Amino acid sequence: MEDLLRSVLKVCEDSGAEFSDIRVFRDKNTFIRKDNVKRVLGSDEKFFAVIRVLKDGTFRYATTTNLEKRYMKELSKKICYDSEYNQNVQIKFLKPIKKIVKNRVEKNPGEISIENKVKDIEKIFNLSVSNKNIKSAKVFYNDYENIMYFMSSEDRYIEQTITRTNIIIHVNARKNNIITESFESYGGAKGYEVVENIGEKEVNEIVDKAIIQLKGKKCPKGNFCVVVDGSVAGVIAHEIMGHPSEADFVINERSFLSELFKKEIANRNVSIIDDSTINGNGFYFFDHEGIPGQKTYIIKNGVLNSFLHSRETASVFSKKFDEETNSTGNGRTQGLGRKIFVRMSNTYFKPGDYNTQELFLGIKKGIYAIKNVCGMEDPAGKGFYVSCLMGYMIENGKITKPIRGEVVLTGNVLEMLKNITAISKDFSLNPGSCGKGHEDFVRVGTGGPHIRIENLTVGG
């Protein structure tokens, strides 16, 4: 593979490229989908290349499923045409490296027989529907082996293999005309142990949330003191600080953070981190530009500490602020047919000092929001939108009546950051997926502890 990549890059160099890199992906996936009426199994194996050249000050891309040497060489020549659209893009050249890396998992899903996988998924499904109030359940299982062969014209060669396992359990409870839902997703850069660790306790927790909601009231609307669990905290971190700190948004003045670099924007107890080195869904050793993944404090003790960078945005920043800025290892692509953007990895709130129960103390009337459903950023308008599966009322410091989903949280980011008054010690990290412009989906993790936010707008 190394020789193949080198020969393609040679064509780019001969055709006048100032810089070029190529990544060939081999993605293998096995899936099982089980619900009340069917069990469907399948597998997919894709090979494709994303070639990138820097010529006349612009990056150009070609992506293809045809990996024949001759074809890739022709394609590389095709994107090395002369152009007057010079964007003056420059990148800092890096030292050569050669790395072959593979993540360690407890149990490689590739070594588990389909028969055993089916048996385990059936067991989880049967546990999910064993309660008479549960009318339907779905279990989605996926395991992946993602291999990236990367080479740049700086003689940087990387072979990266990442094994991932994901499982989603979704249930619906029904009583008369009321239908409720509950779900949980598990996994990340882990092995088959993800499935084996799901037992009666985990499934019952999911089922209970659906059943409790049958007795729940609709979510009240207005401003409340809100406590959110780690799942909701994670998506808040992702939407309010992750997206606005993506440096391409900052450079293009689409982010409200453009003018706030190194300024105090949150309470001192708040730190938000993007970290591709932990084994959540957003784990990688190297990003798709061959830069090592790292732990980046976006907010550190209330101060806007760093943006997230690709190689290109780091170069622009270095020039603009006359201060050396390096890629934070956040250059990622969805893959075939997509370019590299600045993207998050695992984004989370750093845990604090409180015991979880202490967060509820002193709240006269508030809302406990549980389990993220989805979220949306608004980096230009300083807003955010997070939808949660369900909630509970908090009355006089105690968790009381259930709220039937959904619970929607919205607000102004900078006000909200100042209104975070307590952060607990606990921590959870959830697998997810993130788009940019309603497409370009990449795997991410989101997480954190429980956090308490004063005066947040709630709807449902």
Partner 1 sequence: MDKEKIAKSIIKYSEELGVDDVEIFISEAKYKSCFIENNKIKNLLLNFSDGIGIRVLKNEKIGFSSGNIINENYYKKILRRAIVSSKYGDRVKNFYFPNIKNKNKVSGIYDQEIENYDEQSLINFSEFFINEIKNNRIALGRLRFSNLEYFIFNSNGLEVREKSTFATVYSNILNSFEYEIFEKSRTIKEIEKSLISSCEKAKKHLKNYKEMNGSRIKKKDIDVILSPSVLTELFISTFGYALSGNSFVLGNSPFYNHVGKKIASEKITMIDDGTLPKGIGSFSIDHEGIPTNRKLLIKNGVLKNFFFDLITSCNAKKKNIGNGIRNIISEEIYSSPPNPTITNLIIKNGKKSLEDIISETKYGALIEKVSWPRASPFSGSFSLEIRIGYIIKDGCLSEIIKNAIIAGNFYDLIKRVEEISKENEYRAVSPSGFGECALMPYIKFKNVTILPKGIRSF
Token pair listed for 130: 């064993």
79 is a site residue for partner 1 (CB under 8 A): yes
Query: Which is closer to partner 1, CB of 15 or CB of 424?
Result: 15
Applying CB under 8 A, the span of 11-19, 71-79, 286-294, 355-363 interacting with partner 1 comes to 71-79
Out of 130, 223, 396, 400, point to the residue binding partner 1 (CB under 8 A): 223
Q: Rounded CA gap, 326 and 211, in Å?
A: 50
- Which residues in 275-294 contact partner 1 (CB under 8 A)? none
When asked if residue 400 is in the footprint of partner 1 (CB under 8 A), the reply is no
Q: Please, what is the minimum distance in Å from the beta carbon of residue 31 to partner 1?
A: 9
Q: Which two tokens stand for residue 214?
A: 């049958």
Smallest gap from residue 380 Cβ to partner 1 (A):
4
CA angle 303, 376, 282 (to 5 degrees): 70
**Neighbouring-strand partners of residue 157:** 98, 151
Applying CB under 8 A, among 14, 69, 81, 400 the residue interacting with partner 1 is 81
Closest to 376 (Cα-Cα) out of 385, 368, 367 = 385
Of 14, 44, 155, 353, which lies in the binding site for partner 1, with binding defined by CB under 8 A? 44
The radius of gyration computed from the CA coordinates of the chain, to the nearest angstrom, equals: 24
Q: Please state the closest distance from residue 201 (CB atom) to partner 1, in A.
A: 25
Binding of partner 1 by 150 (CB under 8 A): no
Backbone angles phi, psi at 381, to 5 degrees: -100, 5
Inter-residue contact 311 to 244 (CB < 8 Å): no
- 126 binds partner 1, rule: CB under 8 A: no
Residue 80: CB minimum distance to partner 1, A? 12
288 vs 350, which CB is nearer to partner 1?
A: 288
The contact pattern for partner 1, residues 314-343, with x = CB under 8 A and - = no contact, is: --------------------x-xxxx----
> In the complex with partner 1, which residue's Cβ is closer, 344 or 456?
456
**Is 72 within 8 Å of 3 (Cβ atoms)?**
no
* Interface positions, 22-41, toward partner 1 (CB under 8 A): 32, 35-41
Q: By CB under 8 A, tell whether 85 contacts partner 1.
A: yes
Choose between 157 and 224: whose C-beta lies nearer to partner 1: 224
Question: Minimal distance in Å, beta carbon 239 to partner 1?
Answer: 10
Return d(Cα 153, Cα 195) in angstroms, integer.
41
Pick from 62, 162, 344, 444: which binds partner 1 (CB under 8 A)?
62
CA distance 157 to 304: 34
Residues 169-198 that bind partner 1 (CB under 8 A): 172, 174, 177-181
- For the chain, what's the residue count? 460
The answer to whether 140 contacts partner 1 (rule: CB under 8 A) is: no
The stretch among 102-110, 201-209, 215-223, 348-356 that binds partner 1 (CB under 8 A) is 215-223
**Minimal distance, residue 312 CB to partner 1, in Å:** 10
Minimum gap (Å) between residue 338 Cβ and partner 1 = 8
Pick out residues in 346-375 that bind partner 1 (CB under 8 A).
374
How many positions of this chain bind partner 1 (CB under 8 A)? 86
Q: Kindly state the smallest distance separating residue 117's Cβ from partner 1, in Å.
A: 8
Rank residues 221 and 319 by Cβ distance to partner 1 and give the closer one. 221
Binding mask 233-252 for partner 1 (x = CB under 8 A): ---------------xx-xx
Residues 90-119 that bind partner 1 (CB under 8 A): 114-115, 118
Of 420-459, binders to partner 1 (CB under 8 A) are 437-439, 441, 455-457, 459
